[in-house]
Structures are given as C-alpha cells and as structure tokens.
Amino acid sequence: MAENDRPQITLITPPAYDWESFPDTLARVLDAVEVACLRLPLAGQDEFELARMADAARQVAHARDVAVVIGTHVALAQRLGLDGVHLAHGARSIRKARKELGADAIVGAFCGATRHEGISAGEAGADYVAFGPVGATGLGGELAEHDLFAWWSEMIEVPVIAEGGLTVEIVERLAPVTDFFGIGAEIWRSDDPAAALKALVAPLG
C-alpha cells in the first residue's frame, strides 16, 4: 500500500447484542466515522435470534452503503442478502463459500499471525486476509508483527486487515502497511463507542 493511502475501517460488532437497541448505537458510530465494511461475528445456537441480530445490523449498514459480512454463517449470508462471509480458520472453506455465494460475494479469512496461512487463503480466492492480534487482547497467542504487514503489503496484492488489541500507537505504526483496520472490542466497552472510534483512528487524519 502506498504511504499516502489511508487505511479503511472494518467495524466488528460484538458477538451478541440486543437487536432492538444496538442498531441505534451502530448508526451513531457509522455516522461518526467512515466505515468500509461491517463484520458480524455472531455467536449462538438460536438461528432465529442470529438472523434478527444480523438483519437489524444489515438495515443500518446498507442504508449507509456499508457492506456487511457475517462470520462463518454462509446460509444466513444468503438468506438475509448480506455481502459475504468472514471465515475464522484461514484458507479452509474459502472455495466452498465462494461456490455457494458466487463470484460477487466478499469472502475473507482470518489467518492469525501466519504468512503461510495468508498466502494459502489468497491462493484459494480470498478477497482479503486478516492478521492479528496486533496488540494485547488478554487472550494470549502469537502477535502479528509489523514485519508481517510490511512484507505482505510489498509482496501480495490481496488486501490485508490488521486487527485485535489496537491502540492509537499501533494504528499509527501500522497505517503505512495495512489496507484496513478491524476495530470492534476496542470501542464497544466505551460509554460512547463513536467517540472511542474517532479517537482510535485519529492518526489516520
């Protein structure tokens, strides 16, 4: 990515939320900061409840021309008219998801901190890969370091997302070498998520 390109934002919702009240919060965040894509990493066994959460978020996002991808649930993506899926396990299932959703769908993959996994995902047809965590999350695991993003941005054309444990300092450091920042848990704990997002991405100008 060129030095003067401003990374875009993928906004990541909580894994569960009140589908009646959360859309208002989501709308305020989307109206405060330009967001390229909304990701729904929804967890739970009740498909009806998952569909209600996803559809409520979709309505808010699509009204603002923001693409929506859902974690893992290919069938829900099809049923609710979402824009694609985010797969949590690297290259696995990318070709299957692409076959089910079609060529125009967004199919992305989380690849941890592993260059090889990212390359495999790209070769399988991923529209983007996500590496992380890039900072402390309390969950442990290997960090995706600056060198990984620097190498990827120089050598690979597939867009890359930096996510997990973002701070203002990390955003500033990674901005020249990533295409997107995936932001979620960093802001939803705040009383004012829109203000928290603005503060976090302040280094992007």
Residues 100 and 179: their CA atoms lie apart, in Å, by: 27
Is the pLDDT score of 1 beyond 80? no
Helix (H), strand (E), coil (C) string for the chain: CCCCCCCEEEEECCCCCCCCCHHHHHHHHHHHCCCCEEEECCCCCCHHHHHHHHHHHHHHHHCCCCEEEEECCHHHHHHHCCCEEEECCCCCCHHHHHHHHCCCCEEEEECCCCHHHHHHHHHCCCCEEEECCCCCCCCCCCCCCHHHHHHHHHHCCCCEEEECCCCHHHHHHHHHHCCEEEECHHHHCCCCHHHHHHHHCHHHC
Go through the domains of the chain in sequence order and give each one's CATH number: 8-204 (3.20.20.70)
Task: Name the amino acid, one letter, at 77.
Answer: A
CB 79 within 8 Å of CB 42? no
Identify the residue whose tokens are 């979620």.
184
Is the pLDDT score of 97 beyond 80? yes
Determine how β-strand 67-71 pairs with β-strand 106-110: unpaired
Q: What is the pLDDT of residues 126-154, one digit of tens each?
A: 999 999 999 998 777 899 999 999 999 99
pLDDT of residue 111: 96
CB 94 within 8 Å of CB 129? no
**To the nearest whole number, what is the mean pLDDT of the chain?**
95
Residue (of 41, 19, 66) closest to 130 by Cα position? 41
Tokens of 167: 């701070």
pLDDT of residue 4: 52
Taking residues 36-55, what's their average pLDDT? 95
Residues 149 and 70: their CA atoms lie apart, in Å, by: 24
- Angle between helix 22-32 and helix 193-200 axes, rounded to 10 deg: 30
Alpha-carbon Rg for the chain, nearest whole angstrom, is: 16
pLDDT of residue 122: 97
Taking residues 48-62, what's their average pLDDT? 97
Q: How crowded is the C-beta side of 182, counted as CA atoms within 13 Å? A: 26
